[in-house]
Amino acid sequence: MRILVTGGAGYIGSHTCVQLLEAGYEIVVADDLSNSSETAIHYIKGITGKEFPFYPVDLKDRERTEQLFELEPIDGVIHFAGYKAVGESVERPLMYYENNLVSTMNVLQAMRKRGIFHFVFSSSATVYGDPEILPIPEEAPLSATNPYGCTKLMNEQMLKDLYQSDNRWNITLLRYFNPIGGHPTGLLADNPNGIPNNLMPYIIRVYENKLDQLHVYGNDYPTPDGTGVRDYIHVIDLADGHVAALDRMKEPGVHIFNLGTGTGYSVLEVVRAFENVNKCRIPYVIDPRRAGDIAMCYADPSKAERELGWKARRSLEEMCKVVLI
């Protein structure tokens, strides 16, 4: 099977490209490099020893997106491309709505034109809003607390509507919890352009002395140590979830899965694990809570285990280990 990986130069996309190639899939990558660099493409090829076409295409450009499908035979798409910073989405909502919705629509239009109906979408635990039930099952109520979350919900709705209109579509919505960690070679990691929005790349910038200290937003949440609790998952486990979804989800429909470990760790637990495993100190300061942040969020991942035969395997220590190259 030949898979178009949009956003394949990005953090989760690049790790997924490696796992797909190692599982025997052929890939084509499209990424406008707005939050990544072409180095990731070279590293994917170096790690796997396999070649594949790369297109530096902005998927908001409908014509260029359609050209890509004319040039390359494609059987299915994993759609990672999108913007992901919650804070930035609050400041620049139109930029988020435009990029995260228009690029999905262009890809879907191009697929429909060419009779390709196999689509895997990068959704997020953010679609559960402030969850009422923990661990969170897939059928929990959905809501959004910021424009980024709204784009994920809208994309999910668009995909459900699409299947209702034409039941040849085979759509998988993968709701990721909090991916961290990197490839054991040290070549691929979460290395966003600019100041990181997520915990682990921020910790790593402090570790590398590129930032002075970590900002911990709130220590008065109703959690064991007062800091927010999240379901951190190793990015390679997450990448393997995509391979499992392609392997198993052969029937048309809208298939929805949580990809998480089922265990929650607090911000301070992650900081301590990072310090222990890398033998270092991470200075931090406690700041006020960030608007829109929630106290606790962790998955019930049992559906993915039952139906995809997939389960996260790597420990928090493995997620925190920095590989020096």
207 is catalytic: no
CB closer to ligand NAD, 169 vs 176? 176
Q: Which residues pair with residue 155 across a beta bridge?
A: none
Q: Which residues pair with residue 76 across a beta bridge?
A: 3
Which residue number has the CB closest to ligand NAD?
10
Q: To which residue do tokens 């993968």 refer?
A: 174
Residues near ligand NAD (CB under 6 A) are 7, 9-13, 30-36, 58-60, 80-84, 99, 103, 122, 124, 176, 178-179, 198
| CA-wise closest residue to 76 among 5, 24, 155 | 5
Q: Which residues pair with residue 299 across a beta bridge?
A: 136
Give the pair of three-digit tokens for residue 166: 């034409």
Smallest distance, Å, CB 9 to ligand NAD? 4
CA 95 to chain centre: 19
Answer whether 235's CB lies under 8 Å from 12's CB: yes
Q: To which residue do tokens 């990731």 refer?
A: 40
Residue 5 main-chain phi, psi, to 5 deg: -105, 105
Smallest distance, Å, CB 78 to ligand NAD? 10
Tell me how far apart the alpha carbons of residues 292 and 129 are, in angstroms, rounded to a whole number.
9
CB closer to ligand NAD, 60 vs 272? 60
* Residue count (the chain): 325
CB proximity list for 82: less than 8 A, separation 6 or greater: 7, 99, 100, 103, 104, 122, 151
CB closer to ligand NAD, 215 vs 281? 215
Smallest distance, Å, CB 167 to ligand NAD? 25
- Helix, strand, or coil (residue 29): strand
Smallest distance, Å, CB 256 to ligand NAD? 14
CB closer to ligand NAD, 128 vs 169? 128
Of the residues 43, 55, 128, 148, which is catalytic? 148
CB closer to ligand NAD, 178 vs 261? 178
CA torsion sign for 52, 35, 203, 124 is negative
Smallest distance, Å, CB 178 to ligand NAD? 6
Please identify every residue annotated as catalytic. 148
